[in-house]
Structure 1
Amino acid sequence: MTEQLMVKQERAARTRDTLIRSAAEIFDREGFAVASLTAITTHAGVSNGALHHHFVSKAALTDAVEGAALARLMAVTEAVLPLGASRMQVLVDVTHRLAEALRGDVVLRAGFELNREASRPPHADLCEWWRRWVEETLKQVEAEDELGPGVVAADVVNAVVAATVGFEVLGARDAEWLSASTVSRFWRLLLPTVVPARLLANLDPDGPRLP
């Protein structure tokens, strides 16, 4: 591969990433329905021809935004478990990381917002992926005997997913819903009802302990 070709490919990749981010910013600010390709290209500082070189339609660009958002969500949940840490603490910490990412990453926010767009089926279902991750983590929590007597893992999954997705929705209008203090208060309320008393003192609702 020649140096000239490598430079051309790198430039194309940067343009594609710029268009995805610009689309996310326009979707986040104006909403999917009214966002135009012209507004996106103007915001990105590229021509319509450059956009159509990478994306044949608004639908294709929207799918790319959702795909990029899913990649960011997966990165949030790729937690390295510290030696001796519990899976419940990992769950607490990852919810904090998710809220932090939603506050600062417009592509991730746009991905969740696009999932709620009634006029189109989701290309990458972030909410469902998040639900499955929480479900798998709670299965591990249950296997490690970190749930209290009579606590059903599926009920905890429902509570965590409903709360975190709800924080994302409400955070679109008021960033306080995605603050660390909001997530901490949620866990201070939930942990005593789902975790055995013998383990409660070892859990930190304020997280995160993950790298």
Structure 2
Amino acid sequence: MTKQDRAVRTRLALIRSAAEQFEARGYVRASLAEISAGAGVSSGALHFHFANKAAVAEAVEDAAALALRRIARRGRGGDGCALQRLVDVTHRVARLLCADVVVRAGLRLNAEAVAGRVRDLRREWRECVHELLAEAERRGELAAGVPPHRTSAVVLAATTGIEVLAREDHGWLARPSLTDLWQLLLPCVAASHLAGALQPAGTDPEGADVEAGPTARGDLEESGTAAGLALR
């Protein structure tokens, strides 16, 4: 393993350890000492990568944003029924939240506006929902008289609410929760010719893996956070 590889692995370990601390204890109570200990590195190694706790939190948010953006882009760029792709992408986001502490912590930090930073981590998700429903309208997939912007507001409110509730009980992210949501919504918003064709539980196989976690080296390189890392 090269020094560059070790430096990147140390950074990834610190980001994940920080996410675990932020999720469990919140930003204020999490300490740099606990973060470095959780990553199995010294305090000096932590400060080599991050100037302070705010910088660590920003790195967690950046990693979470990349993971969410990847899933949103997959939904927007797919083929087939736009409404079904919207259903599928909500299930993928839920699976990602279940599987990845970095994404959960990033959303929590963002909602709490940690360290005074101004960021909108959910913007990509809102745009994804807006675009898929606009596409559904163009393709005649929405029932007559169903306005895409109002449907979008309902979907966003419901999915955001599920994410917030899941901070205390991950059961909210289980497949049945979203399936119940779509079983209620789809008969109200889908065109009649789609009746019975849409799958509220999503089209991904049961137990399908989510995309690679947000703290993969490729994502760090994409965001520029790995660029210029000194050899260590």
Once residues 19 and 156 of structure 1 are traced to their aligned partners in structure 2, the CA distance between those partners, rounded to angstroms, is 40
Q: 1:121 to 1:201 in 2, by over 3 A?
A: farther
Question: Does the C-alpha gap of structure 1 residues 120 and 141 become closer, same or farther in structure 2, counting only changes over 3 Å?
Answer: farther
What is the letter of the counterpart of residue 25 of structure 2?
A: E
Q: CA RMSD in A?
A: 1.7
* Highest RCO, 1 vs 2 (Cα 8 Å, sep ≥ 6): 2
Identity, in percent, stands at 46
Given that residues 21 and 107 in structure 1 are in contact (C-alpha distance below 8 angstroms), is that contact kept between their aligned partners in structure 2?
yes
Aligned 8 A contact 1:94 1:208 in 2: no
TM-score by length of 2: 0.83
**Mean Cα deviation higher: 48-57 or 125-134:** 125-134
2:28 matched to 1:33?
yes
What is the one-letter code of the residue matched to 1:161?
L
SS in 1 for 2:84: helix
- 1:34: how far off? 0.7
C-alpha distance 109-119 of structure 1, shift in aligned 2 (>3 A): closer
Give the structure 1 partner of residue 94 of structure 2.
99
1:136 corresponds in structure 2 to 131
**Alpha carbons of structure 1 residues 70 and 118: separation in structure 2 relative to 1, 3 Å:** closer
- For structure 2, the residue ranges without an aligned partner over 5 or more in a row are 209-232
**Count of residues in Structure 1 that have an aligned counterpart in Structure 2:** 204
Q: How big is each residue's C-alpha offset from its partner over 1:18-74, in whole Å with a ceiling of 9 and x where there is no partner?
A: 100100011011111111111101111111111111111111111100000011112
Which residue is equivalent to 1:197? 192
3-state SS of paired residue (1:129): helix
CA contact (8 A) 1:141 1:147 kept: yes
Q: CA deviation at 1:124?
A: 4.6
Cα deviation for residue 161 of structure 1 reads 0.9
Equivalent positions of 1:22-101 (< 5 A) are 22-77=17-72, 78-79=74-75, 81-82=78-79, 85-101=80-96
Q: How far is the alpha carbon of 1:107 from its aligned partner?
A: 0.5
Equivalent in 5, 13, 17 of residue 8 of structure 2: 13
* Structure 1: gaps (5+ residues): 1-5
Deviation at 1:200, TM superposition (A): 2.1
1:112 is aligned to 2:107: yes
Q: 2-side partners of 1:52 and 1:208: how far apart?
A: 45
8 Å CA contact 2:134, 2:148 repeated in 1: yes
Q: 2:230 aligns to what?
A: none
**TM-score with structure 1 length normalisation?**
0.91
TM-superposition CA deviations, 1:126-162 (whole Å, max 9, x none) = 2222112211121111111111111110111111111
Helix, strand or coil for the counterpart of 1:31? helix
Counterpart AA for 1:41: S
Q: Give yes or no for contact 2:165–2:172 (8 Å, CA) kept in 1.
A: yes
